Amino acid sequence: MKIAENYKYLGKINTPQELKGLSKEEIPEFAAEIRKELVSRVSENGGHLASNLGVVELTLALHRVFDCPHDHVIFDVGHQSYVHKMLTGRFARMDTLRKPGGLSGFTNISESEYDAFGAGHSSTSLSAGLGFAMADRLTGSDAYTVVVLGDGAYTGGMIHEALNNCEKNLKLIIILNENEISISKNIGRFAEHLARLRNKSSYFKTKKFTEEVLHTVPPLYRIVRRTKKGLKSALYGSNYFESMGITYLGPVDGNNFEKTESLLREAKKLGECVLVHVRTKKGKGYEPAETDPSRYHGVSPAGGKKETGKCFSEIMGEKLTQMAAGDSRICAITAAMCDGTGLCSFKEAHKERFFDVGIAEEHALTFAAGLAANGMRPVAAIYSSFLQRGYDNIIHDIALQNLPVTICVDRAGLNAADGATHHGLFDVAFLSGVPNMTIYTPVTAKTLEKALAESVSLGTPSAVRYPRGGENARINAEFYACGAEEKPLGAVANFAKDETLDAVVITDGIIAAEALAACDKARENGVRAGIILLEKIKPYGECAENVAHLLPRGVKKIIFLEEEIRAGGMGMLLSDEMHRRGMLYGTETEIMAVDDTFVKRNAGKTMYEDAGISADDIYKVLVK
């Protein structure tokens, strides 16, 4: 990566120690270079742009004030850590960001000692940071732990659970980065005056000296403390954090480097648990992102494959909106992902029945259970990898009571760019083990619409899982050209029942396209292979009957193929069901799935190749 001729500082300042050598007068130009590179790199590779543009000055201040990696900096989610990566020896590799074998789009403990804690999901940072700070206290370390979380992450319940366990004598600094909405009651002229006062070094010196003196006279200390607390509460309202024993500093303009660095230094001097409230502007320094930060939150890579037609999320949202027009019981729930899950059309049409609960998947599911128990038909749309958070709620609150909640499992399967934190590989296994649950696996617009309508009408718990993106033309042509979409949901085949075949691949989801390519190659080499595509996998007894009805006589080999984990997945459960029913007697069977691993991104390979379930992998099993 050529850098020296492009920038005055960037590429030459590669460590926090080198950063500390810059004067304050040089920081604005360095920040401008960082923003220029962010726009260039993210536009090319894809990734999170607006959030990273917003934290440039904050990240610079962090690495000048604290001594990483001795001190620990933990970013919530980690998607806003690109600047952090540039400053910690990884700038020369930024051209590999989010590419196979390259830098992760999130923090990753295996990537750098400066990444104290890996992430990809929201609201985990403070719990982890509390663990770091407590471990340092127990081992006698003088290290600081700094947690950087946004006001969006603050909507997650885990943050509040961790706040409840924070202790004043920990070297834990919580940076609350407010970049969209105000969450603080400290507004108005008095609060602004207090913030200005607190931002001055003299305030802290006076505060500390006064407390030391008053502590020598306990009765006087208690009287002054009560008076101060009552006066503050009367003038500008109670401060949530200070009520919990956490010193509150701010708010400060997080895009003003000098003010931010100054306040962080004062927070560090206190040597205790402190919350620093900063305000930053998403997309700062890049007008399109400043104007429309939501659009520039996640950016697709330049030259990337353009999706044609509507994505499954949009199809689901539009169909649910139509259904709700005719059924006043239907409600839609999202956990801060209205746009990502395709529910914006529902929000516009049925505002009173649309609920965005924030980054709180557990709450979303139990909230849905409450709605269902009182006569409604809730549909909760949640990414597969985020649904993992609500497993107990699915079992205890929804399934045990057999309530009519529909879970739309978005982003099912492998997700190449975001990597292991966002793979939707576990939902089939953990949902299959839940009694009363029905699982649909549609792969076309029509079957998705049909599955959604059927699931809402069941009156029992159900899940409709679908991948990111939209329809696959080859799958549509092979399985649905003859009108199979008009038949009841179950299973479809790309061969006739009286056809003579050597092998059959039984699969679900968009990975059927890999199976089709493998079967093409197998036929060219004398092995007659066909595919059964599942649109509904649970109940597995029903699924087994649907498959048996399609299987031709005399087939020698059956491969159960899935873009899911093997343990407890479709292949294991369906093959077991068919064996117990005597449907596979004398037939060789093999399961191809993700086998007890977190699929990583390796250079030069597709995600299917990394997982061992690519077309070539399937072909080798077909012909062996």
- Is 542 one of the catalytic residues? no
Interval 343-375: pLDDT, tens:
999 999 999 999 999 999 999 999 999 999 999
d(CA 404, CA 385): 22
How far apart CA 193 and CA 196 sit, in angstroms, is 5
Known catalytic residue at 361:
yes
Catalytic residue, chosen from 171, 259, 279, 282, is: 282
Return the pLDDT at 301: 77
Res 184: pLDDT: 33
pLDDT digits (tens, 9 = 90+) for 232-245: 454 445 577 888 88
Structure confidence by residue, pLDDT tens digits, 564-588: 999 999 999 999 999 999 999 889 9
Strands (E), 417-553: 438-440, 462-465, 491-493, 503-508, 529-534, 536-538
Q: What are the backbone dihedrals phi and psi of residue 98, each rounded to the nearest 5 degrees, phi first?
A: 65, 15
The verdict on whether 282 is a catalytic residue reads: yes
Degrees to nearest 5, angle at CA 263 with 156 and 221: 90
- Measured CA to CA, the distance from residue 515 to residue 507 in angstroms comes to 8
Please give the Cα distance from 311 to 598 (Å, whole number).
26
The per-residue pLDDT for 414 is: 92
Q: Which of 231, 109, 211, 199 is nearest to 168 (CA)?
A: 211
- The residues spanned by each domain of the chain are 16-185+239-299, 312-465, 492-623
Q: Which of 137-141, 201-205, 426-430, 478-482 has the lowest mean pLDDT?
A: 201-205
Q: Is the pLDDT of residue 44 over 80?
A: yes
Query: What average pLDDT does range 152-180 have in this prediction?
Result: 91
In Å, what is the CA distance from 612 to each residue of 120, 506, 566, 605, 617? 24, 17, 12, 11, 6
Q: What does pLDDT average to over the chain? A: 89
Residue 620 has pLDDT above 70, yes or no: yes
Burial letters for 245-275: b for 16+ Cβ neighbours within 10 Å, e otherwise? ebbbbbbbbbbbbebbbbbbebbbebebbbb
**CA 535 to chain centroid:** 26
Instruction: Using pLDDT thresholds of 50, 70 and 90, give the confidence band for residue 294.
Output: confident
DSSP per position, 292-311: -TTTTTEEPPTTPPPPPS--
pLDDT at 190 over 50: no
* Local structure of residue 424 (DSSP, 8 states): B
pLDDT at position 298 is: 75
- Is 80 exceeded by the pLDDT of residue 109? yes
CATH of region 16-185+239-299: 3.40.50.970
Q: Name the percent of the chain lying above pLDDT 90.
A: 72
Whether 196 shows a pLDDT value over 60: the answer reads: no
Q: Average pLDDT for residues 286-306, to the nearest whole number?
A: 75
- From the list 33, 57, 314, 361, the catalytic residue is 361
Average of per-residue pLDDT across 22-27: 96
- Whether 91 shows a pLDDT value over 60: the answer reads yes
Beta strands 72-75 and 529-534, pairing class: unpaired
For the domain bounded by 312-465, which CATH number is listed?
Answer: 3.40.50.970
C-alpha to C-alpha distance for 53 and 545, rounded to whole angstroms: 55
Residue 6 has pLDDT above 90, yes or no: no
Of 300-309, 437-446, 523-532, minimum mean pLDDT range: 300-309
Q: What is the pLDDT of residues 391-426, one digit of tens each?
A: 999 999 999 999 999 999 999 999 887 888 889 999
Q: What is the pLDDT of residue 199?
A: 52
Q: What is the DSSP string of 45-99?
A: H-EE-HHHHHTHHHHHHHHHHS-TTTSEEEESSSTT-HHHHIIIIIGGGGGGTTS
Residue closest to 245 by CA, chosen among 168, 318, 317: 168
User: How distant is the alpha carbon of residue 165 from its chain centre?
Assistant: 25
Round to the nearest angstrom and report the end-to-end CA distance of the chain: 44
Q: What is the CATH code of the structural domain delimited by 492-623?
A: 3.40.50.920
- Over residues 253-285, the pLDDT tens digits come to 999 999 999 999 999 999 999 999 999 998 998
Q: What is the mean pLDDT of residues 110-118?
A: 94
pLDDT(191) > 50: no
Separation of alpha carbons 287 and 621, rounded Å:
53
Contact call for residues 108 and 131 (beta carbons, < 8 A): no
Using CA atoms in the order 203, 205, 208, 212, what is the torsion angle rounded to 10 degrees? -130
The secondary structure of residue 414, as a DSSP letter, is -
Residue 154 has a pLDDT of 85
**Which structure tokens are listed for 141?**
């370390």
Kindly name the residue from 90, 377, 389, 536 that is annotated as catalytic: 389
Is the Cα dihedral 281, 282, 287, 288 positive or negative? negative
**Are both 16-185+239-299 and 492-623 of the same fold?**
yes
Q: Are strands 47-48 and 588-594 parallel, antiparallel or unpaired?
A: unpaired
Asked whether the predicted pLDDT for residue 545 surpasses 90, the reply is: yes
Q: Is the pLDDT of residue 207 over 70?
A: no
Model's pTM, two decimal places?
A: 0.85
Q: How confident is the model at residue 76 (pLDDT cuts 50, 70, 90)?
A: very high
The C-alpha atoms of residue 53 and residue 33 are separated, in whole angstroms, by 11
How far is it, in rounded angstroms, from Cα 61 to Cα 55? 10
Place of tokens 């080798």: 620
Rounded to 5 degrees, what are φ and ψ at 83? -65, -45
Quick one: pLDDT at residue 236? 43
